[in-house]
């Protein structure tokens, strides 16, 4: 009897050790992600920022470009004491995400020039002054999203926005680092499927740390199959009679191989 108990105890300890070993890579990747996020965001929004890209074992160009846009957005808001707010979207569940409002400009103009030349976010009272600037007509999706979708809009202080961005970025990088493989940047990413309740929708996605609903995953639903780089993302859908709506869930890819959107 005593021998059986010792064997059960040894078995229990082995299982605990296996759990600890399985958990260790995640902790290691979290520490790596936190250090990388700190380096990416060092002196962000200030003239002292001197980030230099380094060769890593993961694809990082998309993240570096996103942080650059966040940097220029912070500089833009610092130009005017009355506009030192950072726009955020609030998804169902009260999750706040900093808005990547420069992301939709694409190659139209350089981000530094854009932030110095246009008073883009004149958000006082009705939001229409922002949309009346013809040059930014391609950002109309934001107006319909905030006013007619199921999400909200809030302006937060920079002291809140930077930690908010850092936390989301760290989570995103943790997932990407955990999926690390050599030469991943030469591939289109990982295969992924999005399933919706409605048919005939176009699926959009956004990194979970910097909200930009303009990224198109594919169409029409359902399902939609495509490729995506490892990370943490949100997915939504839009159709002829259906306003752009995002599922509030965060999908970590990997281990997720598909996203089944609720109410979309």
The per-residue pLDDT for range 199-213, each reduced to its tens digit, is 999 999 999 999 988
Name the most confidently modeled range: 52-56, 86-90, 195-199. Answer: 195-199
The pLDDT tens digits for 151-195 are: 677 778 888 999 999 999 999 999 999 887 544 555 668 999 999
pLDDT at 76: 78
Answer yes or no: is 240 within a domain.
Answer: yes
pLDDT higher than threshold 70 for residue 91: yes
CB atoms within 10 A of CB 91: 23
Residue 232 lies in a domain: yes
* Mean pLDDT (the chain, rounded): 76
**pLDDT tens for residues 210-243?**
998 889 999 999 999 999 999 999 999 989 988 8
Number of domains in the chain: 1
CATH number at residue 216: 2.60.40
Kindly write down the DSSP assignment for every residue of 102-147, as one continuous string: TGGGTTSS-HHHHHHH------SSSSHHHHT-GGGGGGHHHHHHHH
Pairwise CA distance, residues 165 & 156, whole Å: 12
Residue 189 lies in a domain: yes
Asked which of 21-25, 106-110, 142-146, 172-176 is least confident by mean pLDDT, the reply is 106-110
> Please, which residues have CB within 8 angstroms of residue 215's CB and are 6 or more apart in sequence?
204, 205, 206
The domain in which residue 198 lies consists of 182-260
Q: Is 215 exposed, middle or buried (0-12, 13-18, 19+ CB in 10 A)?
A: middle
| pTM across the whole model | 0.76
Whole-number pLDDT of residue 145: 58
Residue 77 is predicted with a pLDDT of 77
Indicate the pLDDT class of residue 9, thresholds 50, 70 and 90.
Answer: low
Share of the chain above pLDDT 90, in %: 38
Mean pLDDT value across residues 110-114: 44
Residue 208 lies in a domain: yes
Q: What is the mean pLDDT of residues 69-96?
A: 77
171 in a structural domain: no
CA distance from start to end of the chain: 58
- Domain assignment present for 243: yes
pLDDT for 40: 96
pLDDT value of residue 117:
41
């Amino acid at each position: 009897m005593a021998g059986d108990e010792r064997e059960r105890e040894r078995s229990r300890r082995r299982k605990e050790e296996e759990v600890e070993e399985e958990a260790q890579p995640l902790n290691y990747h979290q520490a790596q992600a936190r250090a990388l996020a700190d380096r990416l965001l060092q002196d962000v929004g200030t003239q002292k920022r001197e980030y230099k890209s380094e060769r890593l074992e993961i694809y990082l160009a998309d993240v570096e470009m996103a942080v650059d846009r966040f940097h220029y957005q912070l500089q833009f808001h610092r130009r005017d004491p009355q506009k030192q707010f950072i726009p955020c979207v609030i998804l169902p569940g009260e999750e706040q995400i900093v808005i990547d409002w420069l992301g939709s400009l694409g190659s139209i103009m350089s981000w530094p020039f854009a932030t110095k030349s246009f008073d883009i976010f004149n958000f006082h009272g009705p939001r229409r002054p922002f949309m009346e600037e013809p040059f930014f007509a391609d950002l109309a999706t934001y107006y319909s999203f905030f006013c007619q979708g199921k999400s909200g809009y809030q302006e937060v202080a920079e002291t809140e926005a930077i930690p908010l961005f850092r936390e989301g970025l760290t989570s995103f990088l943790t997932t990407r680092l955990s999926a690390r493989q050599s030469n991943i940047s030469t591939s289109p990413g990982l295969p992924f499927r999005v399933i919706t309740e409605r048919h005939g929708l176009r699926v959009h996605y956004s990194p979970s740390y910097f909200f930009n609903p303009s990224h198109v995953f594919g169409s029409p639903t359902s399902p939609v199959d495509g490729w995506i780089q490892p990370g943490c993302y949100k997915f939504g859908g839009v159709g002829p009679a259906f306003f752009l709506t995002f599922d509030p869930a965060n999908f970590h890819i990997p281990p997720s191989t598909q996203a089944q959107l609720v109410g979309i």
